[in-house]
Amino acid sequence: MKKKPVKADADLAEWCRVLGAPAVCAESVPPGWATIAELSEKMSKSIPQVSVLMRRALKRGEVEKKKFRIVTGRGPFPVPHYKRVK
C-alpha cells in the first residue's frame, strides 16, 4: 500500500521557527555589577569566603544584590550580581 505524499503546511516553517527559538535570552549586565566568581578572582580569595563577605556587606547595607540572566554552562540563567552602594 503506497502512502500519499504529505503536503507541507504553509505555516509549518513558521511554527518550527517560533517553537525552536530560545525561550529566554541573556541580559546585558550594566557596568559596576559583578558576580561572586568575578569578585573572588579580583580579590584572590575563595568563592565561599567572598560569599560570606558579601552576605555581611548586604546586612550592613554596603552592597546591593540583583539577579541578571547571563549565559552559564547550562544556558541563560539568573545569577546574583553585586554592586557597592554609594
Residue 44 falls in which region: left (phi positive, over 0), alpha (psi -120 to 50) or beta: left
Architecture (CATH level 2) of domain 24-84? Orthogonal Bundle (1.10)
Break the chain into its structural domains and give their ranges: 24-84
Does this model's pTM top 0.85? My answer is no
pLDDT digits (tens, 9 = 90+) for 51-80: 999 999 999 999 999 999 988 888 888 999
**pLDDT attached to residue 65:** 96
Task: Give tens-digit pLDDT for 22-38.
Answer: 666 788 899 999 999 99
- What gap in Å lies between CA 33 and CA 76, rounded to an integer? 17
